[in-house]
């Protein structure tokens, strides 16, 4: 029987491979894949602040009381993936993008320290950070909104409007450029902030505003968070970084909901920050689905 030429070529190729195997010659192995080298920078939401309340520790990368962090958090979970290898976590609670007199390392200072340590360099494949909340005085806005009992939350509106104005001045491009200067080949992922308060009408709401502020003020504050995220997202994308929106993952788990993922209680230094569930079920899945770390691995 005459085989088509394509079949004859396939049969010949199979015979050749069989001969190689029978002769004891080794076949080429697939190239091993190294995990992507990963550095974390940022503020309290990157530092796992609140994940193990009331525990707080000095970040060993700095050895300074000014740089505090929590954990384990989404960063630790990301490091557990086979495709990721954390080379340094430099995030500090209270960190800012702009200059500060607090003694807490800014994002640029964190990046410089990571570079000095050899953790952040041309082999780094991924850098994550949250930043901007402290630059717009997040805590002061919460206080202003909590104190506002007016029907339309006019004081809260003024405070959040000023915060949005400050957000428009956050130097995201300069920060991304600084990181890029140390790690030219890294994917830079700028993470957003979750909405903090359950608002009236949500199916999971127990108390709109969580008992912290009025329902009207809570709605204004959450809108301000959306505006902050929008400003950061636009700036990050224009600078060539990726913005990771975490807010959808926290829907139904805000302060005041029946299943809150936020600290609120006697450990006041952790209030308004995610719990361990917030980091593991909110931030972590948002990071994995958006960043897709396994796709950053190179053979």
d(CA 190, CA 176): 9
* Per-residue confidence (pLDDT) for residue 3, from 0 to 100: 30
Based on C-alpha coordinates, what's the Rg of the chain?
Answer: 24
The secondary structure of residue 210, as a DSSP letter, is G
Residue 24 has pLDDT above 70, yes or no: no
Residue 17 has pLDDT above 80, yes or no: no
Residue range 234-253, pLDDT digits in tens: 999 999 999 999 999 999 99
Q: Name the nearest CA neighbour of 50 among 269, 283, 281.
A: 269
Residue 23 has pLDDT above 90, yes or no: no
Give 299's pLDDT tier (boundaries 50, 70, 90).
low
> Is the entire prediction scored with pTM above 0.85?
yes
Q: Give the contacts of 183 (CB within 8 A, at least 6 positions apart).
A: 39, 120, 121, 122, 124, 127
Mean pLDDT of the chain: 90
CB 196 within 8 A of CB 264: no
d(CA 56, CA 277): 17
CB 129 within 8 A of CB 46: yes
Q: Give the contacts of 65 (CB within 8 A, at least 6 positions apart).
A: 58
């Amino acid at each position: 029987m005459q085989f088509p030429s394509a079949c004859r070529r396939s049969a010949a190729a199979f015979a050749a491979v069989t001969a190689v195997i029978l002769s004891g010659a080794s076949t080429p192995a697939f190239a091993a894949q190294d995990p992507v080298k990963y550095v974390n920078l940022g503020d309290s939401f990157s530092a796992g602040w609140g994940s193990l309340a009331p525990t707080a520790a000095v970040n060993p990368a700095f050895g300074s009381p000014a740089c505090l962090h929590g954990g384990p958090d989404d960063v630790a979970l990301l490091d557990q993936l086979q495709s990721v290898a954390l080379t340094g976590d430099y995030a500090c609670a209270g960190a800012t993008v702009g200059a500060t007199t607090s003694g807490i390392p800014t994002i640029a200072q964190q990046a410089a320290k990571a570079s000095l340590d050899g953790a952040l360099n041309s082999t780094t494949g991924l850098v994550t950070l949250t930043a901007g909340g402290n630059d717009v005085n997040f805590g002061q806005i919460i206080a202003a909104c909590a104190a506002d009992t007016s029907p339309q939350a006019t004081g809260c509106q003024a405070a959040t409007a000023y915060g949005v104005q400050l957000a428009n001045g956050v130097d995201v491009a300069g920060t991304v450029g600084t990181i890029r200067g140390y790690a030219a080949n890294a994917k830079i992922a700028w993470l957003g902030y979750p909405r903090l308060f359950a608002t009236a009408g949500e199916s999971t709401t127990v108390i709109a505003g969580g008992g912290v502020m009025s329902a009207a003020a809570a709605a204004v504050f959450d809108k301000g968070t959306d505006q902050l995220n929008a400003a950061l997202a636009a700036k990050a994308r224009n600078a060539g970084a990726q913005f990771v929106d975490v807010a959808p993952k926290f829907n139904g788990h805000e302060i005041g909901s029946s299943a809150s993922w936020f600290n609120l209680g006697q450990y006041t230094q952790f209030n308004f920050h995610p719990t361990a569930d917030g980091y593991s079920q909110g931030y972590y899945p948002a990071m994995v689905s958006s960043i897709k770390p396994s796709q950053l691995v190179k053979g």
